[in-house]
Structure 1
Amino acid sequence: ETSCFKRQLVFLEWHEAPTIAVALLAALGFLSTLAILVVFWRHFQTPMVRSAGGPMCFLMLTLLLVAYMVVPVYMGPPKVSTCLCRQALFPLCFTICISCITVRSFQIVCAFKMASRFPRAYSYWVRYQGPYVSMAFITVLKMVIVVIGMLATGLSPTTRTDPDDPKITIVSCNPNYRNSLLFNTSLDLLLSVVGFSFAYMGRELPTNYNEAKFITLSMTFYFTSSVSLCTFMSAYNGVLVTIVDLLVTVLNLLAISLGYFGPKCYMILFYP
């Protein structure tokens, strides 16, 4: 016996309660990051802002704002433009932020040791703008990863039948969401481990330069949430994976905005 039925296209819709909750969380993160950016701008010449990285902070905060603004492209029917933002713009913004934190942890921790043990290496690091060269290299490497991923999967939205319900067709930007996510975040996971390692090494530095607690918080949260997401994706699929991925994405952004920059902003405002 055969019968015909109308397939239902399923994607992350705006009117759903989880989507609204994540969107509100992203809006809160955007406003908080914008407020932190204003505070840092008004206190640019203070030792706290300079010790936090100076111009590097503004690069990170700007990229965080862009990343928050990209969150809405996860909602609604996938298109070529939204898939491009998901697979290229957001990963680049987030990776540069992670690389800034990693380079910053290296700069703070190793500067004290390199200056005394390897003065020539330290002078080269300072003279040739080591932090920015490192970030540029990481950015290029991430761009290569993103391009390879897009060439392998394409940018056009794809459809697949829900294995649990043949009447439902899932619309997504990637036919193999799990493997694509693992490939796209591999560099970020490596950077988070490296950043955590440098932060742990710097736990005994002077208080004014010791950002180990803030870096450890951000990197640990990112690594843990990413591993949890991959575990979740191994057991579930469909739109549920998309909303959980989006939630983890926003929480990771908040971990940097509030976990890394929040304490610095608090010190600037209440302990100038």
Structure 2
Amino acid sequence: MAEIVLSKGVDYTTTPPRSVCSESCSPGTRVARIKGQPICCFDCIACSEGEISNETDSTECTSCPEDFWSNPQRDHCVPKSIEFLSYHEALGISLTTISLLGTFICAIVLGIFVYHQETPMVRANNSELSFLLLLSLKLCFMCSLLFIGRPRLWTCQLRHAIFGISFVLCVSCILVKTMVVLAVFKASKPGGADIMKFFGAIQQRGTVMVLTSIQAIICTAWLVSASPTPHKNTQYHSDKVVYECDVGSTVGFAVLLGYIGLLALLSFVLAFMARNLPDNFNEAKLITFSMLIFCAVWIAFIPAYISSPGKYADVVEVFAILASSFGILVALFGPKCYTIILKPERNTKKSIMGRGATMS
């Protein structure tokens, strides 16, 4: 039986005696009856995470709404913290800075090529495709900014579409440049004069546009059938809401990446075949190296992306975009800018053809 404590001077006809078997349970806890004991004997058990009680001697805890979580005292619900790759955190600031730096470098290289477009170094490396390639690289750097900031419907829909089209435009230019390198060498051999009529300026532009249009069709079909949308994910962290873009169709995303990979692999194979051509056609060596970097980055991206939760999946994708873009920019245009700016004596037709003769 519970012990009853009687105090002197208290009128127990109007005031009931107080049980000292158990004290009242404060907010944040619930009453748990003790089996075999009187009803006034109970334990006070703290509410679980995500549950609260805001009354004394509550018999049960109440779950917080989906976007709320219990405070440390478990006596009221507070909004869950929100997580996404923000422009205001160190990681977002770093990626934004690198993206803008890459865009700025592309603009400088484009300016150098435009200013020196009549020189043998620029003309020998298909200046029109080089200009288009630099513009596509600028788009690649800038599209990474769509992955930073709170996901919204328009950013979720545009980020992968612009990313896919920009990279296909970039890789298509490289592929056509590689094909032209092989065609020029074939044309220099006996009986190969007619081959260049299939690789004129119009045919080059047309090939780039057709290859890019295929990616545009893939992106359009993806957006129409299963468009990416913003998604509030509460599975990664119980006390956080992770804002992310649901890709909608995994097949659509896989086809987009697969098409880019197919063009990159084809460019690499053709450039590898042409790597030992004479030096006046040696852009194939640079293309081989740039495509090797590109393929290595995106092969490493797939497992890293799948295993990265929440905002870190966006970080991995942005890093892959920036790394592959810088790889192409430095590998293809670094040696040319070095020659144009620091070694102008080598930027002559005689010098280029002389090195080619030496290599032949």
TM-score with structure 1 setting the length = 0.90
Structure 1 runs (4+) deviating above 6 angstroms are none
Could you tell me whether the CA contact under 8 Å between 1:12 and 1:19 is conserved in 2? yes
Higher relative contact order structure (alpha carbons within 8 Å, sequence separation ≥ 6): 1
Structure 2 spans left out of the alignment, 5+ residues: 1-60, 70-78, 345-360
Of 190-199 and 6-15, deviating more is 6-15
More helix by share: 1
Question: CA 1:175 to 1:200, structure 2 compared with 1: closer, same or farther past 3 Å?
Answer: closer
Please, which of 301, 306, 311 is the counterpart of residue 229 of structure 1?
Answer: 301
Could you tell me whether the CA contact under 8 Å between 2:294 and 2:328 is conserved in 1? no
Could you say which residue in structure 2 is the equivalent of 1:112?
185
**What residue identity is the alignment partner of 1:82?**
T
Could you tell me whether the CA contact under 8 Å between 2:275 and 2:288 is conserved in 1? no
The answer on 1:35 being equivalent to 2:95 is no
Question: CA 1:221 to 1:19, structure 2 compared with 1: closer, same or farther past 3 Å?
Answer: same
The answer on 1:90 being equivalent to 2:150 is no
Matched pairs, number = 271
Q: CA RMSD in A?
A: 2.3
Whole-Å separation in 1 of the counterparts to 2:188 and 2:152 = 51
Could you tell me whether the CA contact under 8 Å between 1:159 and 1:175 is conserved in 2? no
Whole-Å separation in 2 of the counterparts to 1:100 and 1:65 = 14
**What residue identity is the alignment partner of 1:267?**
T
Question: CA 1:148 to 1:166, structure 2 compared with 1: closer, same or farther past 3 Å?
Answer: farther
Could you tell me whether the CA contact under 8 Å between 1:64 and 1:97 is conserved in 2? yes
Q: CA deviation at 1:170?
A: 2.5
Could you say which residue in structure 2 is the equivalent of 1:3?
63
Whole-Å separation in 2 of the counterparts to 1:91 and 1:130 = 23
The answer on 1:266 being equivalent to 2:326 is no
Could you say which residue in structure 2 is the equivalent of 1:100?
173
Could you tell me whether the CA contact under 8 Å between 2:157 and 2:229 is conserved in 1? no
Could you tell me whether the CA contact under 8 Å between 1:178 and 1:230 is conserved in 2? no
Could you tell me whether the CA contact under 8 Å between 1:170 and 1:239 is conserved in 2? yes
**What residue identity is the alignment partner of 2:113?**
F
Could you say which residue in structure 1 is the equivalent of 2:257?
185
Whole-Å separation in 2 of the counterparts to 1:139 and 1:15 = 35
Whole-Å separation in 2 of the counterparts to 1:176 and 1:13 = 22
Could you tell me whether the CA contact under 8 Å between 1:199 and 1:215 is conserved in 2? yes
Matches of residues 49-198 of structure 1 in structure 2 within 5 Å? 49-113=122-186, 116=189, 119=192, 122-126=195-199, 129-162=202-235, 164-175=236-247, 180-198=252-270
Question: CA 1:70 to 1:175, structure 2 compared with 1: closer, same or farther past 3 Å?
Answer: closer
Q: CA deviation at 1:178?
A: 6.2
TM-score with structure 2 setting the length = 0.69
Could you tell me whether the CA contact under 8 Å between 2:181 and 2:284 is conserved in 1? no
Question: CA 1:240 to 1:126, structure 2 compared with 1: closer, same or farther past 3 Å?
Answer: closer
Could you say which residue in structure 1 is the equivalent of 2:94?
21
Whole-Å separation in 2 of the counterparts to 1:126 and 1:175 = 38
Could you tell me whether the CA contact under 8 Å between 2:231 and 2:243 is conserved in 1? yes
CA shift digits 1:74-130 (9 cap, x unpaired):
111112332233122232122101110011111102332256477476144135833
CA shift digits 1:204-233 (9 cap, x unpaired):
211121112211221111111111110112
Whole-Å separation in 2 of the counterparts to 1:112 and 1:134 = 20
Q: CA deviation at 1:186?
A: 1.0
Could you say which residue in structure 1 is the equivalent of 2:57?
none
Of 69-78 and 193-202, deviating more is 69-78
Whole-Å separation in 2 of the counterparts to 1:118 and 1:191 = 29
Q: Secondary structure at the match of 1:220?
A: helix
Could you say which residue in structure 1 is the equivalent of 2:4?
none
The answer on 1:202 being equivalent to 2:274 is yes
Q: Secondary structure at the match of 2:234?
A: strand
Whole-Å separation in 1 of the counterparts to 2:98 and 2:201 = 40
**What residue identity is the alignment partner of 1:243?**
V
Could you say which residue in structure 1 is the equivalent of 2:291?
219
**What residue identity is the alignment partner of 1:77?**
R
Could you tell me whether the CA contact under 8 Å between 1:178 and 1:233 is conserved in 2? no
Please, which of 248, 256, 267 is the counterpart of residue 320 of structure 2?
Answer: 248
More strand by share: 2
Whole-Å separation in 1 of the counterparts to 2:242 and 2:225 = 20
Could you tell me whether the CA contact under 8 Å between 1:159 and 1:169 is conserved in 2? yes
